[in-house]
Amino acid sequence: MNYPSDGNETIPTDFDDVVQQVSTGSLAHQKIDELLHEAHERYSDVDDGLLAHYIPILGHADPDLFAIAMSHVGGSVHEVGDCQHEFSIQSIAKMFVYALVVQEHGREVVRERIGVNNTGMPFNSVMAVELNNGHPMNPMVNAGAIATTEMIPGRTSAKKWENVRAGLSAFAGRQLTLDDDVYASESESNERNKAVGRLLKSYRRIEGDPLAAVDVYTRQCSLNVTAYDLAVMGATLADGGVNPVTGQRVVDADVCRDTLAAVATSGLYEHSGDWLFEIGIPAKSGVSGGIVAIAPGKGAIGAFSPPLDIAGNSVKAQLAIGHLSRAMGLNLFASAPEKSLLAKAGRG
Residues at the interface with ligand GLN (CB under 6 A): 90-91, 123-124, 142, 186, 193, 221, 286-287, 312
Residue 287 annotated as binding?
A: yes
Largest CA distance in the chain: 65
328 vs 310: CA distance, rounded Å = 28
Nearer to ligand GLN, 243 or 318 (CB): 318
Residue 217 annotated as binding?
A: yes
Specify which residues 284 forms β-bridges with: 292
Residue 142 annotated as binding?
A: yes
Quote the least distance from Cβ 93 to ligand GLN, whole Å: 8
Quote the least distance from Cβ 34 to ligand GLN, whole Å: 31
Quote the least distance from Cβ 126 to ligand GLN, whole Å: 12
Nearer to ligand GLN, 79 or 215 (CB): 215
> Beta-carbon neighbour count of residue 270 at 10 Å?
19
Quote the least distance from Cβ 214 to ligand GLN, whole Å: 9
Question: Which uninterrupted H or E stretch holds 183?
Answer: helix 180-188
Per-position b or e across 162-176, b if 16+ CB within 10 A of its CB: ebbbebbbbbbbeeb
Nearer to ligand GLN, 35 or 145 (CB): 145
Nearer to ligand GLN, 162 or 309 (CB): 309
70 vs 38: CA distance, rounded Å = 13
Quote the least distance from Cβ 84 to ligand GLN, whole Å: 21
Residue 193 annotated as binding?
A: yes
Residue 55: phi and psi, rounded to 5, are -105, 105
Quote the least distance from Cβ 24 to ligand GLN, whole Å: 28
Q: What is the DSSP string of 216-272?
A: HHHHHHTBEE-HHHHHHHHHHHHTTTB-TTT--B-S-HHHHHHHHHHHHHHTTGGGH
16 vs 75: CA distance, rounded Å = 33
Specify which residues 224 forms β-bridges with: 88
Nearer to ligand GLN, 220 or 236 (CB): 220
Nearer to ligand GLN, 58 or 245 (CB): 58
Output 173-179 pairs: Cβ under 8 A, ≥24 positions apart. Answer: 173/232, 173/243, 173/245, 173/246, 173/248, 174/229, 176/89, 176/223, 176/224, 176/225, 176/229, 177/223, 177/224, 178/219, 178/222, 178/223, 178/224, 179/86, 179/88, 179/222, 179/223, 179/224
Nearer to ligand GLN, 296 or 306 (CB): 306
Residue 112 annotated as binding?
A: no
Quote the least distance from Cβ 111 to ligand GLN, whole Å: 22
The annotation places the binding site for substrate at 91, 142, 186, 193, 217, 269, 287
